[in-house]
Amino acid sequence: MHIKAGDTVVVISGPDRGQTGRVLKVLPRRGKIVVEGVARSYKHVRRSQKNPQGGRLSTERPIDISNVQWLCSACGKSSRTGARYLPDGSKERFCRKCGAGGGTLAPARPAYAK
């Protein structure tokens, strides 16, 4: 997947379009991610020992990974990501707009070292 937990993303479609947030969890089998402050839903809870006040609990719901774009920290724009091999043979993500690196994807492999 092109998005990892901890990345900053921009929502590009849906009711929360235009919002930015940090990725809390990635669900690769379902093709979804949970973004902080996006797709909030409320669960009404009655009073109990666990919740003495009761009321509404707010949680983030998963959204489809195709509805977000990675936000580059170097240029500050949302862009697609690419993968490239570094001279030591490790694989990294990079911004398609400015070319800045976005973290490693795989450790160094001697077969890909230059």
Specify the pTM.
Answer: 0.83
Confidence at residue 114, expressed as pLDDT on a 0 to 100 scale: 85
Arithmetic mean of pLDDT, 91-114: 91
For the chain, what is the mean pLDDT?
A: 93
Digit-coded pLDDT (tens) for 37-92? 999 999 999 999 988 998 998 999 999 999 999 999 999 999 999 999 999 999 99
Query: What is each CA distance from 9 to 30, 33, 54, in whole angstroms?
Result: 18, 10, 33
